Amino acid sequence: MQTETWIAITVAAIGTYALRVGPLLWTQRHFNKHKADNTEARLPTWLSVLGPLMIAAMLGASLIPKAPSGASWVATAVGAFVTALVWRKYRSLGLPVFCGVLSFGLAFVLLA
């Protein structure tokens, strides 16, 4: 790969890491400060609203296929359906995402 590609990948990785670790460190500092003061710490209301909104935005963006075709739309529908079914049964995050991505890939390969 070219040097510019590696630089772009590195910048994207650092940015992604910072977006995830920043709120974690802020929350830990917030709770530690309240713990030292012997007061009860609560998460801010905006965080409980913003988190689900960001997840919904990512879901909406990921449900539209990059190259719209019949196979990609059907594979997207199959993946979303399997993800919802597995989530409904297990109420977790990792397994439904894994099953949804796997079913999307299998459906896309079989239909293409």
Mean pLDDT of all residues in 94-99: 87
Contact of 74 with 111, CB cutoff 8 Å: yes
Banded model confidence at residue 11, pLDDT cuts 50, 70, 90: very high
Give the three-state DSSP class for 80. helix
* Cα–Cα separations (whole angstroms), residue 51 to 44, 58, 68, 89: 11, 11, 29, 23
Question: Using CA atoms, how far apart are residues 25 and 28, in angstroms rounded to an integer?
Answer: 5
The pLDDT value recorded for residue 7 is 92
Q: What percent of the chain has pLDDT over 90?
A: 27
Mean pLDDT of all residues in 15-39: 85
The pLDDT value recorded for residue 1 is 64
The pLDDT value recorded for residue 74 is 92
Contacts of 70 (CB under 8 A, 6+ apart): 111
Mean pLDDT of all residues in 81-104: 90
Contact of 86 with 100, CB cutoff 8 Å: yes
Question: Using CA atoms, how far apart are residues 22 and 92, in angstroms rounded to an integer?
Answer: 24
